Amino acid sequence: MRRTVVLALPLLWMAVFFLAPFVIVLSIAFAEAAEGLPPYAPLLRWVGDGLPVLQLNLGNFQLLLEDPYYLDAYRRSLTVAGISAMLCLLLGYPMALAIARAPERWRSPLLLAVMLPFWTSFLLRITAWIGILQDAGWLNGALLALGLITEPLHILYTDAAMYLGITYGYLPFMVLPLYANLVKHDTALLEAAADLGAKPWRAFLQVTLPLSIPGMIAGFLLVFIPAVGEFVIPELLGGPGAQLIGRVLWTEFFQNRDWPLASALASALLLALVLPIALFQWRAARAR
Amino acid sequence: MLRRLLLLAALSAAPLACLLTPSRAAAQDRVLNVFNWNDYIDPYMVQRFTQETGIRVRYDVFDSVETLEGRLSAGRSGYDIVVPTSEPTFSRLARAGAFRPLDRGLIPNLANLDPVLQQRVATSDPGNRFGALYLWGTIGLGVNADRIRALAPDAPMDSLALLMDPQHARRIARCGITMMDSATDVIPTVLRYLGKDPNSTDAGDLREVERALMAIRPFIRNFATGGAIEALASGQTCLAFAYSGDVIQAASRAQEANRGVAVQYVAPKEGAQLWFDLLAIPADAPNPEAAHTFINFLLQPDVMAAITSHVHYPNGVPASRPLVAPEIANDPAVFPDEALRARFFTIGPVPQAAERARNRVWARFKAGR
């Protein structure tokens, strides 16, 4: 009995805050755009003698598959998110490892340093990068003063600035799960490897790295999934060519006022992310 | 950002001051919910409204018209006064039935509005049924003339060719070109530049627009709408396609900063697109009576003069002009002369399919492919 209650609570939470909104979005995706408030026609209509008629419009999903514009945006978003997650992994792994191997009294302050940026608004921190990267910004000022460059570098509004922003913004999501994994490793394993003649780098490759795979996967997903739909960073730092799915969704919703197509885009994105991950989880669970 | 915070601080202080005055206690229940553009009012005038009428104002700001449209489209926005731009937002929302018709009997000051401008707005609001003209302006070029002259001495400073002619744009690109990020605001101007009807939805015309835009695409550094103010004022960019008031604000900011950046607004001689921001009352406004009172209050010449002096956009009340701060009243960029005004044009609504086609051209233009 108590077990049922304990299980029911999170399920209820999921139903109310995840499933219900998704069903609403999905139902709008099957509607047809129309002038009015809200700007789409209802799915359920009542004809003359009180008979309900359910009209589903599949045209939006068909358009997503047929028009290369949308597929292109999906592909670009997945690429950007994948590269960003890899960058976070490359930067975050040494950080997490250093914190995990630091003397115990240092770990808390170091972890705090990783989380400290969260105390400032995300938007403010990304905006701060504009001040650093712009032509007359701090970075160019420093490089010019050092005589390393003679003309300011155009970094702001390029893909490089976008990747920098995403990597910066999501790095803590990589470091924290990796640290949680790495700190639990038994140091006796490394000592044993050393006793058996393994050099430190070999011990790392054959002991630490394989053991930290779950942490890497967790960190990768925590960065990758939100980065796919990232809207703010490409808008503020990225170049005009960055037509990512977040921007395309925004255009459909706000500028074309096509709520059904925007909803179809959002549903398709969610399914494209959730299905492979669910499949992966299911296979991982079966392998165990 | 800072200015917005100061504004909010000032506005939140206003009702507090009223609470301390016991004689007004009875009127405290009345609240007016305003949703306006950021930096788009003289905060002191909001205070004065509360002092005169006892109606408390809850003031909220947006920085893109899409935010406003999204909220009103979803319904039950909770606002009593909103300030959408005539095209495309106002006219779409009016057609969708999002506004309550103005009760002209409650707004005697509607008579203060310029009849010529009223007539122009009528393309978006037939019969001026739903909207009262608040502020207006044009779309044109923000120019850092010194730096442009240094790079392209022969380029015409008063023409859209500065931006649209690849020969000029190529050279100016070195000091930065910023393009407004809005298909509805840019495409009509380009149509006009190409000698077409700015309201054209013809596919062939649109292809020509795309070709013209693509020809200058390599020379555009970034796309920004609100950000154009900062980019111009800091010298980050030396040519921007932007709203008149934004450029004028950038010019005064550059002057304040005193770092050798001088910015001016150019309404192109080919004709600049006029836009209007209208005061409107949502159909489901909780307090429409107070909303009418507020519109009537704003349309007084001295109130409008204070607002124009503060935000550097012209208003729709001609009698306010002598009361506007002289440096703004005499600025031809704020109040253009008759010859220039004669070449201004207004745009009308376009069907949804044409709108999507325009936005698609825009997306390709931005992506540069």
Range of the domain at B245: 139-273+343-367
Q: Do both B171 and B261 map to the same domain?
A: yes
Taking CB atoms and an 8 Å limit, are A37 and B98 in contact across chains? yes
Categorize the per-residue pLDDT at B14 as very low, low, confident or very high, splitting at 50, 70 and 90. very low
Query: Packing angle between helix A213-228 and helix A159-182, nearest 10 degrees?
Result: 150
Are B73 and A37 an interchain contact pair (Cβ–Cβ within 8 Å)? yes
pLDDT tens, residue by residue, A92-116: 999 999 999 999 999 999 999 999 9
- pLDDT band, residue A91 (cuts 50/70/90): very high
Most confident of A155-164, B108-117, B340-349: B108-117
Q: What are the tens digits of pLDDT across the range B343-361? A: 899 888 888 788 888 988 9
Task: Say how many C-beta atoms besides its own lie within 10 A of residue A200's C-beta.
Answer: 11
Q: Which residues of B touch A135 (CB under 8 A)?
A: 176, 236
Determine contact: B140 vs chain A, CB below 8 A: no
Report chain B residues whose CB lies below 8 A from the CB of A156: 222
Q: Do A37 and B97 touch (CB under 8 A)?
A: yes
pLDDT over 50 at B199, yes or no: yes
Asked if B167 and B93 sit in the same domain, the reply is no
Q: Which residues in chain A touch residue B366, judged by CB atoms under 8 angstroms apart?
A: 240-241, 243
**Chain B residues whose beta carbon lies within 8 Å of the beta carbon of residue A136:** 234-236
When mean pLDDT is compared across A175-184, A269-278, B80-89, B158-167, the lowest value belongs to A269-278
For residue A19, the SS3 value is helix
Mean pLDDT of chain B: 88
Q: Do A39 and B73 touch (CB under 8 A)?
A: yes
Look at residue B350 and tell me if it is in a domain. Answer: yes
Cβ separation of A255 and B359 shorter than 8 Å? yes
Q: Residue A137: which pLDDT band, with cuts at 50, 70 and 90?
A: confident
Is B359 in contact with A251 (Cβ distance < 8 A)? Answer: yes
| pLDDT range class, residue B9, cuts 50, 70, 90 | very low
Residues B59 and B122 placed together within one structural domain of the fold: yes
User: Distance from B290 to chain A by nearest Cα, in Å?
Assistant: 24
- Chain B residue numbers touching A241 (CB-CB < 8 A): 366-369
With an 8 Å Cβ cutoff, is A256 touching chain B?
yes
Q: Are B185 and B251 found together in one domain?
A: yes
Partners of A243 on chain B (C-beta within 8 Å) are 363, 366-367
Does residue B337 lie within any of the structural domains? no
Asked whether residue B64 falls in the same domain as residue B162, the answer is: no
User: For the segment A34-80, what is each residue's pLDDT rounded down to a tens digit?
Assistant: 888 888 888 887 777 777 878 888 888 988 888 888 888 899 999 99
- Asked if the Cβ–Cβ distance from A240 to B75 is below 8 Å, we say no
Task: Name chain A contacts of B228, Cβ cutoff 8 Å.
Answer: none
A68 touches chain B (CB under 8 A): no
Whether B207 and B354 map to the same domain: the answer is yes
Structure confidence by residue, pLDDT tens digits, B313-322: 999 999 999 9
Structural domain includes residue B330: no
Give how far A68 is from chain B: nearest CA, Å. 12
Alpha-carbon gap, residue B272 to B138, rounded angstroms: 6
pLDDT at position A112, please? 94
B84 touches chain A (CB under 8 A): no
Instruction: Indicate whether A243 pLDDT > 60.
Output: yes
CATH of the domain at B239: 3.40.190.10
For residues A170 and A223, the answer to whether their CB atoms sit within 8 Å is yes
- When pLDDT is averaged across residues A217-241 and rounded to a whole number, the result is 89
Residue A242: pLDDT band (50, 70, 90) is low
Q: State the ipTM, two decimals.
A: 0.73
Highest mean pLDDT (candidates B28-37, B67-76, B134-143): B134-143
B72 and B147 part of one domain: no
**B70-88: average pLDDT:** 92
With 0-12 / 13-18 / 19 or more C-beta atoms within 10 angstroms meaning exposed / middle / buried, residue B367 is middle
Which residues, 6+ apart, have CB-to-CB distance to B363 below 8 Å?
A69, A243, A248, A251
C-beta atoms of B352 and A241 within 8 A: no
The pLDDT, as a whole number, for residue B235 is 87
Residue A262 has pLDDT above 70, yes or no: yes
Task: For residue A38, give how far its alpha carbon lies from the nearest alpha carbon of chain B (Å).
Answer: 5
Name which of B222, B241, B364 to mutate to probe chain A: the one with the most chain A Cβ atoms within 10 A of its Cβ: B222
Mutate to test the interface with A, among B93, B99, B179, B236 (most CBs of A within 10 A): B236
Beta carbons of B176 and A33 less than 8 Å apart: no
Q: Are residues B253 and B361 in the same domain?
A: yes
Q: List, in order of start, the domains of chain A with CATH numbers.
A: 67-257 (1.10.3720.10)
Most confident of A141-150, B44-53, B61-70: B44-53
B77 and B179 together in one domain: no
pLDDT single digits (tens) A20-35: 999 999 999 999 888 8
Does any domain span residue B317? no
Which of A126, A68, A223, A254 lies closest to B182, judged by CA?
A254
Does residue B75 sit at the A interface (CB-CB below 8 Å)? yes
| Domain annotation covers residue B334 | no
Count of the separate structural domains present in chain B:
2
Same domain? For B125 and B222 the reply is no
The pLDDT score that the predictor gives to residue A1 is: 66
Q: Above pLDDT 70, what percent of chain A?
A: 99
Interface test with B, best of A255, A258, A259 (most B CBs within 10 A): A255
Arithmetic mean of pLDDT, B187-196: 95
- Three-state helix/strand/coil letters over chain B: CHHHHHHHHHHHHHHHHHHCCHHHHHHHHCEEEEEEECCCCCHHHHHHHHHHHCCEEEEEEECCHHHHHHHHHHCCCCCCEECCEHHHHHHHHHHCCCECCCCHHHCHHHHHCCHHHHHHHCCCCHHHCCCEEEEEEEEEEEECHHHHHHHCCCCCCCCCHHHHCHHHHHHHHHHCEEECCCHHHHHHHHHHHCCCCCCCCCHHHHHHHHHHHHHHHHHCCEECCCCHHHHHHCCCCCEEEEEHHHHHHHHHHHHHHCCCCCCEEECCCCCCEEEEEEEECECCCCCHHHHHHHHHHHCCHHHHHHHHHHHCCCECCHHHHHHCCHHHHCCCCCCCCHHHHCCCECCCCCCHHHHHHHHHHHHHHHHCC
CA separation for the pair A168, A149 (Å, rounded): 25
Q: Which two tokens stand for residue B345?
A: 């044009």
One domain for residues B37 and B120: yes
User: With 90 as the cut, is the pLDDT of residue B245 above it?
Assistant: no
Give the per-residue pLDDT at B150: 94
Same domain, B54 and B145: no
Choose among B98, B236, B359: nearest Cβ to A134.
Answer: B236
Q: Would you place residue B7 in the very low, low, confident or very high pLDDT band (cuts 50, 70, 90)?
A: very low
Identify whether B13 is part of a domain. Answer: yes
For residue B31, tell me if it sits in a domain.
yes
Query: Which residues from B are below 8 Å from A127, CB to CB?
Result: 1
Is any Cβ of chain A less than 8 angstroms from the Cβ of B366? yes
Name the domain boundary from B299, B334, B357.
Answer: B299
Q: Kindly state whether residue B202 falls inside one of the protein's structural domains.
A: yes
C-beta neighbour count of A276 within 10 angstroms: 10
Whole-structure pTM value = 0.80
| A147 SS3 class | coil
Pairing of strands B31-37, A32-33: unpaired
